[in-house]
Amino acid sequence: MIKYLNMRINKLFFVFIICILGGAIYANTFHSSFHFDDTRVIVENPQIRDVFNIAIAWTNTTKHLMDHTLGVSARRLIPYLSFAVNYHFHKLDVFGYHVVNVGIHVINALLVWWLVGMGVRSINRKHTSGVCLRRKIKNTPPRCVYGSTVALCATFIFLCHPVQTQAVTYIAQRFTLLGTMFYLLSVCLYMKGRCAETRLIASVRFVGAAIAAVLGMFSKEIVFTLPFMILVLEFYFFRREGSKRIIDVPWYYIVLILSFAVIIPCLYSFNLSGVLAQESMSEASGVATMTRSVYFLTQFKVLVTYLKLFLFPVGQNLDYDFPLAYSIFEWPTLLSMLTCIVLFGFAIWMRTRNKLVTLGIIWFFLTLSVESSFIPIADVIFEHRMYLPSVGLCLALTAGMYSLIRNSRMFVSVVSGVIIIFSCLTFQRNKVWNNEITLWEDVVQKSPHKSRPHNNLGKVYYLQRRDTGLALTHLNQALMLNPNNVSAYNNRGSVYQMERRYDLALADFTQALLIDSESAIAHNNRGVIYQIQKKYDLALVDFDAAIVLNPANASRYVNRANVYFSLGQYEKALKDYGAAIKIDPRNAQAYSNRGGIFAAQQLQDLALWDYNKAIAINLNFKEAYFNRGNIYAHQKQYALALEDYNRALAIDPGYAKAQQQRAWVRKAMEVLPND
């Protein structure tokens, strides 16, 4: 009993250390801003605004599974549900989102500890009647591994490795974190089920593994390889010595396990031929269309880059300018292919010498096979794709080092040094993620000949710093590197609009539509310019197109409603404002503008309700305060009107309309008869 309690205390101690270390090395990320796809996935996504209506998003998006413009995808419902919960409690305060991401990362590290520990114990049982877990072992069998040390070292390397920063610090990559968590949980529960003492306990654990697998399938497509990984583990850990069967379970078990591989193809409507036949435009410098063969050849170089980043994590980059491979006879491609073949051959050779090394390498290749295969993806390389595969590399590295060193104390010393170095590199790398400017300046420095980093940095300069000069410099550079960059035209047009150079803005938005006639953003932006120029008919044509292309964007309905309002078509305007509010119940602009229509129709109570709602959503909405003040002034409630004008001027001291109205109200209050 005492021995059991001591083991439990030791485990709790290491759980505590893992949690503390994970929080410490990511402590400087808790206030890092939203980045890149965070805007689309979280900040501007109305479908995560109400956690209780996430089922409605599911219903809507299951009809459009291949439509990436929608706010929530049925294929990744679980992460979106987690974002909805975050928004419910934290709105757009990044702290809560980062805490959840780091927490999931720590949980994943604990699952790695559990998984590797079970794997080591399973292998040891095949070589000795006892399980080799004690610090001092006499006459240890040659293929026996000191389990707790290897498992803990693999866990700490996984936890602290700087290559994980993109998956953890980049909030939108919770897709990867959750997919990995359910993947590891399913594997662990399956292995525990295979070791259960009774059928009832085994059944409960298998059901848990199945539920985790399904949740993972609805988190990210990388979980597609899970059934195949289960069969690999069956071969390595549970196949009886001397068995003539490759997988030592009944055939119907295998069929049941493989049936889970159908879930993700089902989410893609079994459109396998369409997915395989697709071509993609590369995001690398220059413009190039990627075929399946080009993407496949390029992935050999990508795999080698991943290996290099794992062993020597320097020069990390959010947006690599990665050259495509067009022929197997190009030296970088050929050498990379040979490296992968040699590594896989080494894994096979090590099968009888160190099964953990073999299993780790197989894990790496198998879990990367979804994104490093024949299916072209515009971005051929992203560091967050290393998150799940790195579990295998952590296992292979620690098991291999232990086999070479053999001395436990020396092994722990070496690995401790590696963990300290990795922790420092992770902390330093996370400084780059502090805000959008530090991030994209780093990317531009490392990928100076790629259009997208310049475009994104230019966008950040004009949105956050209001520095139109620097913004135009980078946006012009982006267009010089890629004259077909639709996003850069849209962003440069927005800068020109900010500078009130409307003709130049109109030219850029029009050019964006010449390149991509289905750009909803360009249609919307051009419609805004036409509205400013009072070309309402042209504005309506563009807003109509923007709404047809992306009916889930509330701001497009607000813009069209504003045109109807200007034309005096109040019924149409009210309908569009209502549609915007239905899509995004927290759209303060829609409430405020609808209040303007009610005020114009002398429906003052309805107008006041909308202004109150807009202010409740956005306490710094100066126009809503001003408009509500006008209602109060019209009702001769001058004290309330004066209070609202003062609030509007506190937000913007130069707000001329509020200054004029406040002066009028003060005069009106002076002539009121004294009670």
Q: What is the DSSP string of 532-582?
A: HTT-HHHHHHHHHHHHHH-TT-HHHHHHHHHHHHHTT-HHHHHHHHHHHHH
Q: Return the pLDDT at 66.
A: 36
- CA-CA distances (angstroms) from residue 237 to 12, 150, 261? 27, 17, 21
- HSE-up (13 A, CA, CB side) for residue 616: 9
Of 104, 114, 112, the C-alpha closest to 22 is 104
Name the amino acid, one letter, at 663: A
Whole-angstrom distance, CA of residue 516 vs CA of residue 519: 6
**Beta-carbon neighbour count of residue 530 at 10 Å?**
22
Assess contact for 550 and 60: CB atoms under 8 A. Answer: no
Half-sphere exposure of 387 (CA within 13 A, CB side): 29
Residues of the chain below pLDDT 50: 1-6, 56-57, 59-72, 127-146, 277, 675
The pLDDT score that the predictor gives to residue 283 is: 59
Tokens of 629: 């003040």
Query: How far is Cα of residue 153 from the mean position of the Cα atoms in its chain?
Result: 28
CA–CA gap between residue 401 and residue 414 (Å, rounded): 9
Q: What is the pLDDT of residue 243?
A: 67
The answer to whether residues 153 and 412 touch, using CB atoms and an 8 Å cutoff, is yes
Residue 667: the pLDDT is 85
Domain at 438-619: CATH code: 1.25.40.10
Identify the DSSP state of 313.
-
Identify the pLDDT of residue 59.
45
Looking at residue 68, what is its pLDDT? 40
Report helix, strand or coil for 280.
strand
| Token pair recorded at residue 225 | 């390889």
Other C-beta atoms closer than 10 Å to the C-beta of 397 total 20
CA distance 317 to 452: 13
Q: What is the pLDDT of residue 142?
A: 44
Q: Which two tokens stand for residue 431?
A: 């400084």
Compute the distance between CA of residue 202 and CA of residue 180 in angstroms, rounded to an integer.
Answer: 23
CA distance 459 to 487: 10
Residues in Cβ contact with 574 at an 8 Å cutoff, skipping those fewer than 6 apart? 561, 594, 597
Q: With helix as H, strand as E and coil as C, how does 158-190 read?
A: HHHCHHHHHHHHCHHHHHHHHHHHHHHHHHHHH
Both tokens of 675, joined, read: 């009670």
- Are the CB atoms for 596 and 565 separated by under 8 Å? yes
Residue carrying structure tokens 């491979």: 325
d(CA 93, CA 97): 8
The answer to whether 439 and 432 have CB atoms below 8 angstroms apart is yes
Task: Say what the pLDDT of residue 118 is.
Answer: 86
Residues whose CB falls within 8 Å of the CB of residue 537, separated by 6 or more in sequence, listed in order: none
Q: Taking a C-beta distance cutoff of 8 angstroms, is the pair 192, 198 a contact?
A: no
pTM over 0.85: yes
CA distance 588 to 574: 15
Q: CB-based burial of residue 675 (10 Å sphere; 0-12 exposed, 13-18 middle, 19+ buried)? A: exposed
Quickly count: other Cβ atoms within 10 Å of residue 104's Cβ: 19
- Kindly write down the DSSP assignment for every residue of 464-515, as one continuous string: II--HHHHHHHHHHHHHH-TT-HHHHHHHHHHHHHTT-HHHHHHHHHHHHHH
Q: What is the pLDDT of residue 311?
A: 94
User: At 94, which helix (H) or strand (E)?
Assistant: helix 94-125
The closest alpha carbon to 47, from 4, 13, 76, 14, belongs to 76
60 to each of 41, 55, 266, 555, how far by Cα in Å? Answer: 16, 9, 17, 19
What is the rounded CA–CA span in Å between residue 638 and residue 648? 15
Residue type, 3: K
